Structure 1
């Protein structure tokens, strides 16, 4: 099978900046309280008329331009989102229309905050199977639409934005340097030591799953007026206990040690949580850790591609450098993989 790699990135954020001091005038909180508990200083909030589709299309247009591809080359578009109002046509189909893509398969994917890494793996598998040559994978959220602005435990977290990646099939042997290729087994991709490394591809095997017994930890429910709610302490305990092992497994399946990473981009949920998780990996000091949550807040499925695109744009990650992507959220769901920077 061909390999697949990320060839270009793009991102978009609304112009309105909401500071902690602004929030302190809306709800009982303070800049000090928010920074100590979350690490967040500012977040971006979309205008009322600005939709998930608007933000997704802006990020995707930037990624497509950076890729140098013609719109006709894109054969698959998927948008990870949990906050979109539109059901049909999908956000992906609307983005395809705006960018002038003539006939891609287009669909939305809802896996909460784990959505982008899930969508990335889904598109990667499609390209490896020959279903398309090039794909657009987008994470886009307007979390301000589903925020309870009277709940200080959640309204201080959430924000809006979008990030996008162009994936392209390569002529490599794909993931897996052994005779068994990807190495499917009872526990999914890469269950053994055979054939579960990068090879010459740019996207490593995915580690993904869910724990439905903890599905009420993060919720977005109510048909007519959905509101984001979460059990913050329960999420923190779960993440700090489970994510370090998932990070190591993603590295193992990619055939590298965590210390060989150029960077780590986790879901930007909470800076204190990110720090607690990554301390357990004992990473070298030169590994770049995404901390976009400080200036962008928690943008759910948009947070990983948004943070990754900004790091690459600023030149903080080297081309070809191995970067661990790791996301988690409602479900409780998780997805992660090691990728090479474009």
Structure 2
């Protein structure tokens, strides 16, 4: 037996297909500076080796009681100010992070609450070092679709807590920080098409040493009086078993040979050429990766390239917005100029887009 539909009227939809832009950016770098000399008290290495291997000279570590939410708020304030809006004008908060202290609830609702914007949609994106560029695309689509006029995007990570400080292969790479951007509606295009994707076959190239399920199981048995061997995780206890492990060479090769074509696609889909760019802002993973991408993209010799890794280390989802904020603040790039940004990392996930700087 068939039934006729009860409603025959037309649905009302939100206004869509608007243009978008980044209207403001902000950044926060924790006070504590950790030099290579200090790192070398944890691992058998030298300042020269670390610089040659990664380009890192120093990095910032959050204070003991400083959370990813705290850092996000410090970055969000200047972003809202530059955008010329207040928190009550936000339509959503999207937070890119993989180091929030809780699997649930997410960090974004807490950010919205503490900004004074409680009640708006707020959620986290767990795409690691690609998270900020993922979130920019999501926020842009939200504004284009008409579900928000302004969306706050935050990339915030505290990788010092996710690092095994005795792992010679990764202890020197990571740092802490937060960067933020406001994505707003625009009369003209300000965010180009996003080229993004993931390679699940390489999921274990950058990962937590043990899953939370494995850690919980072993911890419970340890509390029950059963001694546990954590050595297969390169760790001595549950805390260090939750830190990151990285296959450095395979990640390096993947980034060098696979990410330049993604960046080129973003340039092509934006309808411009490399000569039109005013800045290249790649994820701050490794100085050698950045230099290799510049060479493969055949970028003009005079184009400003973000190399913030020297003083921030790899801050995961925070690295691209942190570099963007600094380059604008220091006058290295022009307001209103075109910038190619790309994030890539664990997943393995990646995303790139050309944006007009606020």
Aligned to 1:32: 48
Deviation at 1:220, TM superposition (A): 2.4
Note if 1:87 corresponds to 2:103. yes
Note if 1:316 corresponds to 2:332. yes
Preserved contact between residue 127 and residue 134 of structure 1 (Cα < 8 Å) = yes
Aligned to 1:214: 202
Note if 1:55 corresponds to 2:102. no
Structure 2 unmatched runs, 5+: 1-16, 216-238
Deviation at 1:316, TM superposition (A): 1.1
1:270 to 286, 290, 297: 286
Counterparts of 1:235 and 1:19, CA distance in 2:
24
Counterparts of 2:24 and 2:317, CA distance in 1:
18
SS at match of 1:154: coil
Aligned to 1:41: 57
Counterparts of 1:324 and 1:298, CA distance in 2:
19
Note if 1:205 corresponds to 2:221. no
Give the ranges of 4+ consecutive aligned residues of structure 1 lying more than 3 Å apart after TM superposition. Answer: none
RMSD of aligned Cα (Å): 1.0
1:227 to 243, 264, 268: 243
Aligned residues: 314
Aligned to 2:27: 11
Alignment of 1:60-79 (within 5 A): 60-79=76-95
SS at match of 2:299: coil
Counterparts of 2:121 and 2:72, CA distance in 1:
16
Aligned to 1:23: 39
Preserved contact between residue 75 and residue 103 of structure 1 (Cα < 8 Å) = no
- Give the TM-score normalised by structure 1: 0.90
1:291-311 deviation digits (Å, cap 9, x = unpaired): 000000000111111111111
Preserved contact between residue 173 and residue 313 of structure 2 (Cα < 8 Å) = yes
Counterparts of 1:100 and 1:221, CA distance in 2:
37
SS at match of 2:196: strand
Note if 1:338 corresponds to 2:354. yes
Preserved contact between residue 100 and residue 106 of structure 2 (Cα < 8 Å) = no
**Radius of gyration: which is bigger?**
2
Structure 1 unmatched runs, 5+: 173-199
Counterparts of 2:113 and 2:209, CA distance in 1:
30
Note if 1:298 corresponds to 2:314. yes
Q: Which moved more, 1:318-327 or 1:214-223?
A: 214-223
Aligned to 1:106: 122
Counterparts of 2:201 and 2:357, CA distance in 1:
35
Deviation at 1:152, TM superposition (A): 1.5
Counterparts of 1:321 and 1:219, CA distance in 2:
36
- Give the TM-score normalised by structure 2: 0.86
